[in-house]
Each structure stands twice: as C-alpha cells, then as structure tokens.
C-alpha cells in the first residue's frame, strides 16, 4: 500500500485468483486460444493479400479486422500469460500501463468502426448490387480505413490522459490481468465523477455511433432479403452477411457489458469475464466464423494448400 497523497509509479497486477494448478490450466487454455487466434488471422491476411479472388471490399475490410484482432490480443494476452507463470504479482511500470491502456482502447474503438464499415459494405452489396463497384471502390475503402485508424487513435488520447493524471494514493495493486481503466479509477483518491461521466458519454458515442449504421444497414438488408421470392436465393444472399452479423452480435454485446457503465469501479470478477470475452474468446472465434461458412474463402484456401503441397512434393 502507498502512503496518502503519493502517486504510484508502478502497479502490481493480481491476475487470476486460485492455486498454481489452476494457473497452469488457465495458461494452457489461453495460450491455445491466443496461438489459434494468431494463426487464424495470419492465414486470413495471407490469403487476402495473395489471391485476386479475394481482392474485394469485403475481404479488404476483413484483412484489416484480422490485423486488429492480432494487435489487440498481443497488447494484453502475452502479459496475462506471463502473469500466470509467475509465482507472485506481475509488476508493470506507469508508462507501460499507460501505453497498454491507450493501445487497447484505441484498437477496440477502431474494431467497432470497422464492424460498422463492413455492415455498410454488405448493405451496398445486397441492396445496390449494380452500383456496388462504383460506390465501394478501392479509393473509398482506403479512405474509410485511414479515417477509422486516425479516429480510433485520436479519440482515446483524452480518456488515457485524464486517467493517468489522477493521483493513485490508495494502493498500487490492480485486481486484474491488465491495466483496466475501472481498476485504475478504484485506486484513485481524487474525486473523478466528472471524468467518469465523460468517459461514459464517450463510450456511448463510440458504441452507439458505430452501431447505428450497422442497425440501419441490416434493417434494409433483411427487408431486401424478405422480398426475394426464391427461398434458396434468400438463404444465399443472407449467407453473405451471416458471418459478419454473428461477429457483430458477439462483439457489441461484450463491449456493451465492458464499457457502457456510469460506475467505472465495478467488481473485478465482472470485468475479468467481460475482458476475457473481448480479448481472448472473440479473436479466437472470429477467424472461424468468417471463413468456415465462406465458400469463396474455402475454395481459395484449398487451392493455396494444393499449390503448397505440389511445391513441397517437387
């Protein structure tokens, strides 16, 4: 514990409670999830880059989403795994904690913006197929991605700045496996109600601001699909949106539980579970959701594997 009116220069991460045996099980589980997530997303990026059949806006956005998934998990999960191996608490400097929180929040914001962009892309493909190539041209897609990256990293400067200008005099022990903003507020002895409220409004703005285009897009998509007379055509059209729609449901529900709260200092157990969904489970599931039911990607993957096999055989 720190003496009153002195601010922490380093933090101790408690990580996960439990015995050493439980920590070993958690390490093996999370390491498996993290490894599969990295491999799956690298495969998606590789396929999108090398095959012309995947040179379309849908896969362009998917490739950037895979890059984001890799970065987001790498910002937090390796530190979590290292903490599970250590016998005691993990020490993190104030600077490292600040950088981790900034990257985590910025990449999370960027991911929601990409989900929104992908929803608009699916809307144009389903509702305006004849104008799809004109509207979703390479120039438009590139600027959408650039604007998303710029907004994500600029928007989170103030929340991180405000958080780390608090005085952490209650303790320097974070009851989490990474530098969680709620736990940082819990350690502050400053009256930060205004800051918490502003962070709540900013979270609302990002989540619902990116969710509204998605809701509007899928309203028009579903309306268009229901007007298709053939059942097989309806299913084929919906299948082009099903993977994105599934990831949106999982991603936004997890983010709503984690970020949209007036009181940042909620129970650590609640934050841990929600954080695991966002940082470990979702990146593990997304590559499978986007690829297993995608006929074109499956075809490209099969062809690439056959080409690699022939090269190795020769």
Indicate whether 14 belongs to any domain: yes
Distance, CA of 149 to CA of 111 (rounded, Å): 9
Indicate whether 1 belongs to any domain: no
Q: Residue 29 sits in which domain range? A: 10-313
Q: Give me the phi and psi of 101, to 5 degrees please.
A: -65, -40
Contact 69, 112 (CB under 8 A): no
| Confidence band of 5 (pLDDT split at 50, 70, 90) | very low
Q: Is the pLDDT of residue 73 over 80?
A: yes
Instruction: Write the CATH number for 94.
Output: 1.20.1070.10
Q: Give me the phi and psi of 156, to 5 degrees please.
A: -95, 5
Q: Give, in order, the Cα–Cα distances in Å from 256 to each of 48, 114, 206.
A: 30, 17, 11
Contact 7, 39 (CB under 8 A): no
pLDDT at 175: 85
pLDDT at 64: 92
Indicate whether 5 belongs to any domain: no
pLDDT at 166: 83
Distance, CA of 237 to CA of 239 (rounded, Å): 5
Indicate whether 4 belongs to any domain: no
Indicate whether 172 belongs to any domain: yes
Local structure of 11: helix, strand or coil: strand
Q: Give pLDDT tens digits for 92-131.
A: 998 999 999 999 999 989 999 999 999 999 999 888 888 8
Give the HSE-up count for residue 144: Cα atoms under 13 Å, Cβ half-sphere: 24
Q: Give pLDDT tens digits for 177-202.
A: 898 888 888 888 877 788 888 888 88
Q: Give pLDDT tens digits for 121-154.
A: 999 988 888 888 889 998 999 999 999 999 999 9
Distance, CA of 294 to CA of 53 (rounded, Å): 13
Indicate whether 194 belongs to any domain: yes
Indicate whether 59 belongs to any domain: yes
User: What total number of domains does the chain contain?
Assistant: 1
């Amino acid at each position: 514990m720190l003496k009153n009116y002195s601010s922490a220069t380093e933090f101790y991460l408690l990580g996960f409670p439990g015995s050493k045996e439980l920590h070993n099980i958690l390490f093996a589980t999370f390491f498996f999830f993290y490894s599969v997530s990295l491999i799956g997303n690298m495969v998606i990026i590789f396929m999108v880059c090398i095959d012309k059949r995947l040179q379309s806006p849908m896969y362009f956005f998917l490739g950037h989403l895979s890059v984001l998934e890799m970065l987001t998990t790498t910002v937090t999960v390796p530190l979590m795994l290292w903490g599970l191996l250590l016998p005691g608490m993990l020490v993190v400097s104030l600077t490292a904690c600040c950088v981790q929180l900034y990257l985590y929040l910025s990449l999370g914001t960027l991911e929601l913006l990409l989900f929104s962009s992908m929803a608009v892309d699916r809307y144009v493909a389903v509702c305006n197929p004849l104008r799809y190539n004109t509207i979703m041209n390479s120039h438009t897609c590139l600027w959408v991605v650039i604007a998303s990256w710029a907004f994500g990293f600029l928007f989170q400067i103030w929340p991180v700045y405000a958080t780390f200008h608090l005085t952490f005099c209650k303790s320097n022990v974070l009851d989490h496996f990474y530098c969680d903003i709620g736990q940082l507020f819990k350690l502050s002895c400053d009256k930060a109600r205004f800051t918490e409220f502003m962070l709540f409004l900013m979270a609302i703005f990002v989540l619902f601001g990116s969710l509204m285009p998605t809701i509007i897009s899928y309203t028009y998509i579903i309306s268009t699909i229901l007007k298709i007379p053939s059942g097989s055509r309806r299913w084929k059209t919906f299948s082009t949106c099903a993977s994105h729609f599934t990831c949106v449901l999982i991603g936004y529900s997890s983010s709503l539980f984690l970020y949209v709260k007036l009181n940042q200092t909620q129970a650590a157990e609640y934050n841990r579970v929600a954080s695991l969904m966002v940082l470990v489970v979702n990146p593990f599931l997304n590559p499978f959701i986007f690829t297993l039911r995608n006929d074109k990607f499956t075809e490209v993957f099969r062809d690439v594997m056959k080409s690699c096999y022939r090269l190795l055989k020769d």
